[in-house]
């Protein structure tokens, strides 16, 4: 499961998600779990219609689009050390910063796994 959005939101922040539902009722703040992501939103207590935060929903969309692609990393050298260059789209999605540490483990002779 991916959980990129790990921020805890205050009650006041979640209240920003309240909107008027198509049925006329005001929604109640709710955290949705979509594809391993915590997505802010709200749900109508009357008709159960759900409304998602646009920024969070866009993150889930970008993740699913990227997941469909075959991503390629390039092994390079920097001085006498080796480095793995990963696509910018992945860096942006994961909000990686220069110098950030990534854990690498060997699954078998053909597969490595990286985790934040």
Q: What is the CATH number of domain 74-115?
A: 2.10.260
Question: According to the model, what pLDDT value does residue 7 have?
Answer: 66
Q: Which two tokens stand for residue 16?
A: 């920003």
- For 35-47, write each residue's pLDDT tens digit: 888 999 999 999 9
Q: Is the pTM of this model over 0.85?
A: no
Domain ranges in the chain with CATH number 2.10.260: 74-115
Instruction: Tell me how far apart the alpha carbons of residues 54 and 39 are, in angstroms, rounded to a whole number.
Output: 9
Instruction: Tell me how far apart the alpha carbons of residues 90 and 107 are, in angstroms, rounded to a whole number.
Output: 21
The answer to whether 68 and 38 are in contact (CB under 8 A) is no
What angle (nearest 5°) sits at the alpha carbon of residue 60, between those of residues 56 and 61? 115
**In sequence order, what are the residues at sequence separation of 6 or more whose Cβ sits closer than 8 angstroms to the Cβ of residue 109?**
none
- For 51-95, write each residue's pLDDT tens digit: 999 999 999 999 999 999 999 999 999 999 999 999 999 998 888
């Amino acid at each position: 499961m991916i959980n990129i959005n790990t921020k805890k939101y205050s009650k006041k922040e979640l209240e920003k998600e309240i909107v008027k539902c198509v049925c006329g009722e005001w929604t109640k703040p709710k955290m949705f779990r979509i594809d391993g992501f915590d997505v802010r939103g709200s749900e109508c207590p009357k008709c159960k219609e759900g409304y998602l935060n646009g920024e969070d929903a866009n993150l889930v969309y970008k993740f699913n689009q990227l997941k469909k692609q075959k991503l390629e990393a390039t092994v390079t050298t920097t001085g006498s050390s080796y480095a793995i260059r990963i696509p910018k789209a992945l860096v942006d999605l994961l909000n990686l910063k220069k110098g950030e540490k990534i854990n690498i483990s060997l699954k078998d002779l053909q597969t490595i796994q990286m985790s934040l």
